[in-house]
Amino acid sequence: MERTKEKILQVAAKTFTKFGFHKTSVDEIAKAARKAKGSVYYYFTSKENLFTEVVKQELQFIKNELNSAVTNEKSAVDKIKNYFSSRIQLMHNSTNYLSTVKIDFFDHFDFLFDVKEEFRKFEKNTLKSLLILGIEKKEFTVLNNIDHISESLALLIKTIELQFEQHSINKNIQLSTETLVSLILKGASVK
């Protein structure tokens, strides 16, 4: 039975990516998965619930990749730069999650709030731990309000993410983001 659920999730992810949330029906997902519509509703209470699970899977993949990206770097500065760089690339490739940025901007789909809030907390806590590491390694001076700084860095990422969705920005954003992160971190760096 778990294989059926996974099959439905895989097909739903592809279908939502191809047609978007609004233009995708549960009937289409069931047909593409070669399952009865009732099977879809057995595992997922609604199209919103199914889409939420698809987005959760994408975000879990992103979290795992971001954790790996910062593990490979030695300095806190490099970890933060790599976090930003990886985050932007991963989000650019996560079409279902990225579409929620646009959906929220126009439609305010509340059913995604908890998923996005959990990811926001993950991101803030990850950035906070990297800032603390930088202080411990004496790469940064003691920062007065690490919570505020980590929240500001997370907000910066969200702003860049929105730019991706709204303007289909190319790879120049990567270089601009690295420059911006360097400027921000130099303000916190030990001279």
Q: Categorize the per-residue pLDDT at 91 as very low, low, confident or very high, splitting at 50, 70 and 90.
A: confident
What b-and-e string marks burial along 35-67, b requiring 16 or more CB atoms within 10 Å of the CB? beeebbeebbeebeebbbbbbbbbbeebbeebe
The letter for the amino acid at 83 is Y
| pLDDT in the model for residue 105 | 46
Angle at 98 between CA 59 and CA 73, to 5 degrees: 50
pLDDT in tens, 98-152: 665 555 544 567 888 898 889 999 999 999 999 999 999 998 887 678 898 899 8
Q: What is the pLDDT of residues 53-70, one digit of tens each?
A: 998 998 899 999 999 999
177, pLDDT greater than 50: yes
Superfamily of domain 52-188: Tetracycline Repressor, domain 2 (1.10.357.10)
Exposure on the CB side of residue 171, measured as CA atoms within 13 A: 0
pTM of the model: 0.82
Is 135 in contact with 166 (CB distance < 8 Å)? Answer: no
Q: Which residue has the tokens 């279902």?
A: 96
The pair phi, psi for residue 26, each rounded to 5°, is -65, -35
Question: How far is the CA of 133 from the CAs of 12, 114, 156, in angstroms?
Answer: 40, 28, 20
Ranges of CATH 1.10.357.10 domains, the chain: 52-188
User: 15-52, pLDDT tens digit by residue?
Assistant: 988 888 888 999 999 999 999 999 999 999 999 999 99
Q: Which residue would you say has higher pLDDT here, 176 or 25?
A: 25
Q: Among 3.20.20.370, 1.10.10.60, 3.40.50.1820, 3.30.70.380, what is the CATH number of 1-44?
A: 1.10.10.60
